[in-house]
Amino acid sequence: MLRATLKGLLGHKLRLALTVLAIMLGTGLIAGSYVFTDTLDRVFSDLFSQSLAGIDAQVTGDVSEELSTFTFPERLPESLVDEIAALDEVEAAVGTVAGLVTLIDPNGEALGGFGPPTIGTSWSDVASPLTVRDGSAPIGDQDLVIDASSADRLDIEIGDEVGVIALGEQERFEVVGTIGLGGSSNFGGATFVSFTYAAAQQLFDAAGFVDTISVVGAGDISPEALVAAIEEIAPENTSVVDAATAAEEQLSGFKEALGFVNTFLLAFGYVSLFVGGFLIFNTFQVIVAQRTKELALLRAIGATKRQVRRMVLVEAFIVSVIGSLLGVVFGVVLAIGIRAAFSRFGGEIPATTPQVLPRTILIAVLSGVIVTVFSALVPAYRASAVPPIAALRQVTARPTSRLFRIVMIAGSVISVLGTGVIAAGLFLDPPEQIPRAAFVGVGAALLFIGLAILSAAFARPLGRTLGAPIRAAFGAIGRLATENAVRNPGRTAVTSAALMVGVALMVFVTILASSLSATTDKLIADTFKTDLVVQPIGFGAAGLSPQIADRIESLDEIEDVVRLRQGPMLVEGDVEFVSASELAKIENAIDIEVVAGDLASVGADGVALSENAASDLDVGVGDTLDVEFARTGEQTLTVRAVFVEAGPGGNIYLDLEGYRRNFTEDFDQSLFVKFDRSFDSAAARSAVEDVLVDFPGTTSLDQSEFADQAITGIRGFVGLVYALLALALVIAFVGIVNTLLLSVIERTREIGLLRAVGSTRKQIRRMVTWESVIIAVYGALLGSVVGIVLARALVEALDTDEIVFRLPVLQIVLAVVLAMIAGVIAAIYPAQRASRLNVLEAIAYE
Amino acid sequence: MTTAVRAEQATKIYGSGPTEVRALDGVTVAFEQGRFSAIMGPSGSGKSTLLHCIAGLDELTSGKVFIGDQDLGQLNDRELTLLRRTRVGFVFQAFNLVPTLSASENITLPLDIAGTAVDSDWFDRVIDVLEIGDRLSHRPSELSGGQQQRVAVARALASQPDVIFADEPSGNLDSKSGAHLLEFLRLAVDEFDQTIVMVTHDPVAAGYADRAVFLEDGHIVDEIDAPTAEAVLDKIRTLEV
Ligand SMILES: Nc1ncnc2c1ncn2[C@@H]1O[C@H](COP(=O)(O)OP(=O)(O)O)[C@@H](O)[C@H]1O
Ligand SMILES: [Mg+2]
């Protein structure tokens, strides 16, 4: 039986080639996600362990693990460094001050754009992994050293002058050397600069304090003993860990972030593979149909149903293993591509050999095999249902109307089930171990399968409707194209369903994005009460120096400035990003409707919540809330106000007083600036901009510019989603090619007949092309409808008046037009093949 | 009498070297206009090959083929296609019809492909003679084998071609339907002055023709005018001995 299977495989090389390609593409992104994140993991593991080379223990302010990724702990008193150094168990202890900075070139432009953050630290010759590459270490307080790889990238040479902005105004430094980290000159893509201890303390406003104390143990003292000795004298809220643990802790936050990236990429990988499933299903259906005689012969000579079934499944299995292994190779290529894409936004990620772990191969092959074999199940059962008598006479198993009805009922049931599972995932509390996203994913998969089945019922009437203009324009050829497109509704439905999935997701995201943009626009228009917003440029930027607000506030042209800050806080164990502002006057900046309590009374130990947040947390004015800050640890806040609209600041507000008390960071995120009406607004704006000249890396935006910026962010995300969905669309495209090719092979005789009675090659090509266009447009239309319905449903389900539902008609029309073009392109090869058919071979009667 | 189709020293060789097959070996033959000619011969004698070559479906290895005055060897693929579309009709042994089209759509297919208007008087006469008027809206799968072949004949007639080539048109039919179909072919010649060249190995089928040529191993070995089934059978016997 195995030999028959292998023969079958070889006999269908061409037919299976595109299936292998689809599996390869589908598993490629899955493997690629792992390869990408594993490689980064490897790079940063190396980096973190290098960054602690030569150090035995590290002392920092204590911070709970959940918050450590997002914020800095409280600083340590400088005196602790000497106390630790004085211990018998300690050979050396060095305090380091660190923070985020922006480097400015002599023209006042940010060096390397406003991309990833630049990290600045104080320099130390001892107990430090940093080594000088060229030039010297910083000696004078105007000296600066920079990592060799950034120096190269930013074209900085020893002797150059650069500006540095941390918290205050720009200060000027001279580059005196380049540095490396152990053997590496790349700091994981970040730019790294170092100053003298005194200069760093001054830059980061940390006189008398340090961020980290690096300790080298005396003799060969064990890490445990060293840590214990330091803990003995360390004040409360201090974390003392040995180097290995420190590396692990640093890595864990990073790994969590990588985990998110991985999950995000994987989701698209599974979408791609799912789409590939449709193609696989079609291929095996066609192969089984074409092998009816052979299968019947096998049955006639005594093969059991089960053996026939197994033959098809083994064939699927072999194909899937080959496809998945190729997918792993493709995944490595994708990972390199993703790295390159990330590098464009996030700086140079050091290149290392891509990490292909056994786990990656296992998961890729397993998912490939499962999806393929699952997709081949129905064809396998169909194969086993071929009666032995079919070997002797032409038995065309026409689907009976009863069978059709059963299939349609199944389709409806699966669709409803899928919708239910999605709803359950969104609105019910799923069990702990299963993430909501898994429910939504499985539900969506079921829904799409159900819709694919149901769409077989519409394929004929809708396909004919779509074909009407083609028939009108191309007569007999148009009619043939239309009839070919709908003659096998199941096959057409499955082919177009693959496209439907891709297009539906794309349309869904497009609608959400345009609705979100419209909502943002409206929200900003409704709540924006100031004339100008001042913000830092770039996502990695540290923030606004507090001096900016002070200086703007002192301008004559300005009536008022409201500061807004943001930071993480644990609320009942969950990390929440809270906003902080001068709540007494925040109403001057944004429209915020208070329903209970008083914003002005929030104070240093209070909090203001949106109605939603208050009801989620089940608290009201006067109740208390247990929270935790990175710097000050567990605190109790009193709810002093409840407001209606979340607004741009979110659901939880602290007063600026409370922020200062509980956060180490001391910079603003946004400033809301209100002009003095007695001045011309252009004059007022230029006065503000004059101030900002001294603070490169900042920008001022009026209402429409502010809205544009928010929308640009949304657009960037949508672009990323499009890029990742592209693979699924490519697979759907391959699916169309596959179906056409299989159909052309199947219709060899018919095409030969058409040629014999006078169809030109061009007419045959045209016939295949229009068939392809009908299938593609059918899929795109279904996808658009499903995408619109899903987006509408989600907006309805969110049950809020705040969201403006916006249908991007133009983009959807464009998607359909693109599908049409894709249809034309997909048909090129199959049409070519059809038109090249040898007429005689085609009509030969055996 | 004018010649509709002729072949001169037509030779067709398949393969090369030891596997070489001379399917046609210097065949010179002419088929007159307005007559029903049969090409007879045992299986493998080269009948289909000859038909394909004189119908513009296949190319000769050497020699010439003319339809009317047109030398087919001078035509490229596109010109051959247009010639088949306008001047030639086909009836094959089976699979003559496009399954997605109705009977009437199949009949007008060559005209539709060419974008030529259908002569509805002619169409009506043809379907009237072939007795398929009540089957026009049916798909091929809903027609009997005999009906399918009659639709194929109607299609071949629809464009009023110079010549209709038929390869074992009754080969897949039971004897009654087969006889019926051959009567229709006869009728097409008598009623419409149609030229038909038919390949068959069945003496009874050849009996409907005006003339039968005998092919053996790629050679024309004999011919009979106004053959009857008995005469053909006799001839076959003499040839075999
Ligand atoms: N495509 C081909 N390749 C090789 N040999 C062929 C091919 N077509 C036909 N032949 C050979 O040519 C000879 C004549 O075939 P054919 O014209 O089909 O005979 P008939 O129709 O009289 O049965 C046979 O020996 C056949 O095997
Ligand atoms: Mg033959």
Q: Which of A198, A163, A161, A192 is nearest to A179 (CA)?
A: A192
Does some domain include residue A72? Answer: yes
pLDDT of residue A51: 77
pLDDT at A702 over 80: yes
Q: Two tokens at A16?
A: 């299976």
Higher pLDDT, A289 or B76: B76
> Is there a single domain that holds both residue A139 and residue A213?
yes
Question: Is the minimum CB–CB distance between A845 and chain B shorter than 8 Å?
Answer: yes
Round to whole Å and give the CA distance between A437 and A441: 6
Q: Which of A409, A327, A309, A406 is nearest to A371 (CA)?
A: A327
Q: Tell me which residue range forms the domain holding A570.
A: 546-694
> Is there a single domain that holds both residue A761 and residue A615?
no
> Is there a single domain that holds both residue A719 and residue A666?
no
Give the model's confidence band at B151: pLDDT under 50 very low, under 70 low, under 90 confident, else very high.
Answer: very high
Give the model's confidence band at A349: pLDDT under 50 very low, under 70 low, under 90 confident, else very high.
Answer: low
pLDDT of residue A538: 61
Higher pLDDT, B50 or A583: B50
The CB of B14 under 6 Å from ligand 1? The reply is yes
Q: Which of B154, B150, B101, B145 is nearest to B125 (CA)?
A: B154
Residue with tokens 């060293």: A226
Q: How far is CA A110 from CA A159, A204, A693, in A?
A: 18, 19, 12
pLDDT at A115 over 90: no
Q: B218 C-alpha vs ligand 1 centroid, how far in Å?
A: 10
pLDDT of residue A589: 78
> Is there a single domain that holds both residue A582 and residue A690?
yes
Neighbours of B190 (CB within 10 A): 11
With beta carbons under 8 A apart, name residues in chain B contacting A761: 77-78, 81
Does some domain include residue A465? Answer: yes
pLDDT at A347 over 60: no
Q: B32 C-alpha vs ligand 1 centroid, how far in Å?
A: 25
pLDDT of residue A481: 92
Beta strand pairing call for A624-629 and A574-581? unpaired
The CB of B200 under 6 Å from ligand 1? The reply is no
Round to whole Å and give the CA distance between A844 and A438: 54
Mean pLDDT of chain A: 84
Domain end (from A694, A729, A744): A694
Q: Mean per-residue pLDDT for A645-659?
A: 78
pLDDT of residue A44: 80
The CB of B133 under 6 Å from ligand 1? The reply is no
pLDDT at A399 over 60: no
Q: Two tokens at A387?
A: 């009666």
Contact B84 A754 (CB under 8 A): no
Q: Two tokens at B68?
A: 């009317």
With beta carbons under 8 A apart, name residues in chain A contacting B99: 487, 750
Domain end (from A694, A717, A752): A694
The distance of A288 to chain B (nearest Cα, Å) reads: 21
pLDDT of residue A68: 65
| Cβ-contact A817, A490 below 8 angstroms | no
Give the model's confidence band at A489: pLDDT under 50 very low, under 70 low, under 90 confident, else very high.
Answer: confident
Residue A154 CB contacts under 8 Å (≥ 6 apart), including other chains: A103, A111, A112, A146, A191
Give residue A749's Cα distance to chain centre: 49
Give the strand order in the sheet containing B88-91. Answer: B88-91, B163-167, B196-199, B36-40, B211-216, B219-225
Mutation target among A464, A483, A757, A759 for the B interface, most CBs of B within 10 A:
A757
pLDDT at A648 over 80: no
Does some domain include residue A338? Answer: no
> Is there a single domain that holds both residue A566 and residue A665?
yes
Mutation target among B79, B104, B113 for the A interface, most CBs of A within 10 A:
B113
Residue B18 CB contacts under 8 Å (≥ 6 apart), including other chains: none
- Please tell me which of the candidates B57, B96, B112 has its beta carbon nearest to residue A839: B57
Q: What pLDDT digit, counting tens, does each position of A604-621 carry?
A: 899 999 888 888 888 889
Round to whole Å and give the CA distance between A544 and A672: 12
The CB of B48 under 6 Å from ligand 1? The reply is yes
Q: B172 C-alpha vs ligand 1 centroid, how far in Å?
A: 19
Q: Mean per-residue pLDDT for A573-585?
A: 84
Report DSSP state, residue A528.
Answer: B
pLDDT of residue B19: 86
Phi-psi domain of A622 (left: phi exceeds 0; alpha: psi -120 through 50; beta: other): left
Does some domain include residue A12? Answer: no
The CB of B41 under 6 Å from ligand 1? The reply is yes
The CB of B47 under 6 Å from ligand 1? The reply is yes
pLDDT at A348 over 60: no
> Is there a single domain that holds both residue A104 and residue A232?
yes
Give the model's confidence band at B182: pLDDT under 50 very low, under 70 low, under 90 confident, else very high.
Answer: very high
pLDDT of residue A542: 62
pLDDT at A647 over 90: no
> Is there a single domain that holds both residue A672 and residue A712?
no
pLDDT at B238 over 60: yes
Mean pLDDT of chain B: 90
> Is there a single domain that holds both residue A810 and residue A760?
yes
Q: Which atom of ligand 1 is nearest to the CA of B49?
A: 17
Q: Whose CA is nearest to atom 4 of ligand 1?
A: B14
pLDDT at A183 over 60: yes
DSSP for A125-180 reads SSS-SEEEEEE----STTEEEEEHHHHHHHT--TT-EEEEESSSS-EEEEEEEEEE
pLDDT of residue A823: 93
pLDDT at A761 over 90: yes
DSSP for A247-283 reads HHHHHHHHHHHHHHHHHHHHHHHHHHHHHHHHHHHHH
Q: Which of A630, A627, A587, A590 is nearest to A606 (CA)?
A: A627
pLDDT of residue B104: 93
- Residue A574 β-bridge partners: A571
Does some domain include residue A389? Answer: no
Question: Is the minimum CB–CB distance between A763 and chain B shorter than 8 Å?
Answer: yes
- Please tell me which of the candidates B78, B99, B109 has its beta carbon nearest to residue A757: B109
| Cβ-contact B102, B136 below 8 angstroms | yes
Mutation target among B47, B49, B53, B57 for the A interface, most CBs of A within 10 A:
B57
Q: Mean per-residue pLDDT for A705-726?
A: 84
User: What is the percent of chain A with per-residue pLDDT over 90, rounded to a whole number?
Assistant: 22
Flag the least confident range among A194-198, A579-583, A694-698.
Answer: A694-698
- Residue B167 β-bridge partners: B199
> Is there a single domain that holds both residue A657 and residue A713?
no
**CATH number (domain holding residue B185):** 3.40.50.300
Beta strand pairing call for A212-217 and A90-96? antiparallel
Amino acid identity of residue B114, one-letter, is A
Neighbours of A36 (CB within 10 A): 27
pLDDT of residue A396: 52
The CB of B21 under 6 Å from ligand 1? The reply is yes
pLDDT of residue A584: 85
Q: Tell me which residue range forms the domain holding B174.
A: 3-240
pLDDT of residue A832: 93
Residue with tokens 């050999």: A353
With beta carbons under 8 A apart, name residues in chain A contacting B155: 757
Q: Mean per-residue pLDDT for B62-66?
A: 94
pLDDT of residue A573: 76
Count CB pairs under 8 A between chains A and B: 74
Q: Which atom of ligand 1 is nearest to the CA of B43?
A: 23
Higher pLDDT, A838 or A161: A161
Q: Mean per-residue pLDDT for A144-171?
A: 84
Round to whole Å and give the CA distance between B27 and A719: 70
pLDDT of residue A246: 82
Q: What pLDDT digit, counting tens, does each position of A436-447 carry?
A: 777 888 888 899
Q: What pLDDT digit, counting tens, does each position of A782-807 carry?
A: 999 999 988 888 877 776 667 778 88
Domain count, chain B: 1
| Cβ-contact A643, A600 below 8 angstroms | no
pLDDT of residue A793: 83
pLDDT at A9 over 70: no
pLDDT at B43 over 70: yes
Which phi and psi angles does A290 have, rounded to 5°?
-75, -20
Report DSSP state, residue B72.
Answer: G
pLDDT at A116 over 80: no
Q: What pLDDT digit, counting tens, does each position of B92-136 carry?
A: 888 889 988 999 999 999 998 888 888 899 899 888 888 888 999
Question: Is the minimum CB–CB distance between A750 and chain B shorter than 8 Å?
Answer: yes
Amino acid identity of residue A341, one-letter, is A
Higher pLDDT, A800 or A31: A31
Which phi and psi angles does A483 have, rounded to 5°?
-65, -35
Contact B113 A758 (CB under 8 A): yes
pLDDT at B241 over 80: no
Residue A669 CB contacts under 8 Å (≥ 6 apart), including other chains: A535, A536, A543, A544, A564, A565, A566
> Is there a single domain that holds both residue A670 and residue A819?
no
The CB of B181 under 6 Å from ligand 1? The reply is no
With beta carbons under 8 A apart, name residues in chain A contacting B78: 760-761
Question: Is the minimum CB–CB distance between A409 and chain B shorter than 8 Å?
Answer: no
Q: Mean per-residue pLDDT for B81-90?
A: 90
Q: What is the ipTM of this complex?
A: 0.90
Domain count, chain A: 3
The distance of B175 to chain A (nearest Cα, Å) reads: 20
> Is there a single domain that holds both residue A634 and residue A550?
yes
Total residues found in chain B within this entry: 241
Flag the least confident range among A348-357, A439-448, A720-729, A767-776.
Answer: A348-357
